[in-house]
Structure 1
């Protein structure tokens, strides 16, 4: 589905974390103040937990989490790795939360020059500056074979994900780092 928002990514990163004892603690006010809740499992609909579009700060312990603007893990995404986030630039927007539990070992992503996995291709196994391999601002599609990769601005891609065209996401030919 095409989005009216322009998404662009200039880098991609590989996530690494253990999800033993992982959780996300959310707060209704900046600075870890206000009403709070702790989640150790995915939340399809924050409205049912009384936290729909009210999260203003959060803490992540263990595995990374993806916060979605819409329920059922849809809409714009924001990745949170382990750490504390006292103020969120997109506060009061999240409607679902998902812990990344995919196997983060043996990372591999294949980037393609053109949509539908055509044209020149490059396979990467670690975070890479695409300028160093003459692939900066070129990628138009990808396949993830292992690990979890983040295409900035915040498109999270899990093992098995394939994006045949970046055109609907408005970030065709803009990647410069993975």
Structure 2
């Protein structure tokens, strides 16, 4: 499946701790608010600023990640591994709440800001994969993680209505 190794300092220095399953509170492992870098092997992980997978989050796909100079440096309090099958992703976006209006099926990273559908989507259904939905075309701003088989009838519930500009599926890791 995968694992994540978090490090006390940037560039994978200092103390480290390896996880192979979700941890709702890094306090339980004496690692709350300490991580400055991480290595991910296999499936992606999500690092959250609060316990129990709450608050802002950072998606960590396979590879090496430094948090120094980023908003999430020394603020990670829980970790969750993405366990869904990430091959052949598909999401359907809808212009209006309750899956009404114009619909669009997306299967790859898409910059809606470069076309006709920027800032007009209001609901979605995820058929396959896990999707990162972003307010800004560069992946910044408000973000939302849409999980497999999730049906979200109204983006007002997540304060995201008519704000979607970019989305991409999470990439599966090879576990090499």
TM more than 0.5? yes
Count, aligned residues: 158
For residues 11-62 of structure 1, give each alpha carbon's deviation from its aligned partner in whole angstroms, at most 9, with x where no partner exists.
Answer: xxxxxxxx3xx21110122222222101111112111001111111111111
- Confirm or deny that 1:176 pairs with 2:165: yes
Matched residues in 2 for 1:23 and 1:162: separation? 28
Give the TM-score, by structure 2 length.
Answer: 0.80
For residue 159 of structure 1, the aligned residue among 148, 163, 174 is 148
Greater RCO structure (CA 8 Å; 6+ sep): 1
Partner of 1:10: none
Give the TM-score, by structure 1 length.
Answer: 0.79
Point out where structure 2 has 5 or more consecutive residues left out of the alignment. 135-141, 168-176
Point out where structure 1 has 5 or more consecutive residues left out of the alignment. 1-18
RMSD value, Cα: 1.8
Matched residues in 1 for 2:66 and 2:88: separation? 33
- Confirm or deny that 1:53 pairs with 2:42: no
Matched residues in 1 for 2:132 and 2:37: separation? 21
Matches within 5 A, 1:79-98: 79-88=59-68, 89=70, 90-98=72-80
The structural deviation recorded for 1:128 is 2.5
Partner of 2:172: none
Partner of 1:141: 123
